[in-house]
Amino acid sequence: MIVPVTACQDRNQPAAGPSSTAPAQTAAANNQTDKWLGQWNGPEGTYLLLSKSGDKYIVKIQSLDGAQTYEGVSSGDRIQFERGGKTEFIRAGSGEETGMKWLLDEKNCLIIKEGEGFCRK
Report the share of the chain in percent with pLDDT over 90.
73
Q: Name which residue leads in pLDDT, 15 or 89.
A: 89
Tell me the mean pLDDT in the region 73-84: 97
Q: Candidates 3.30.750, 3.40.50, 2.40.128, 2.60.120; correct CATH number of 22-120?
A: 2.40.128
Domain spans, the chain: 22-120
Is the per-residue pLDDT at 73 higher than 50?
yes
| Whole-number average pLDDT of the chain | 85
Is the per-residue pLDDT at 34 higher than 70?
yes
Report the share of the chain in percent with pLDDT over 70.
75
98-119 residues labelled b (16+ CB within 10 A) or e (exposed):
bebeebeebeebbbbeeebbbb
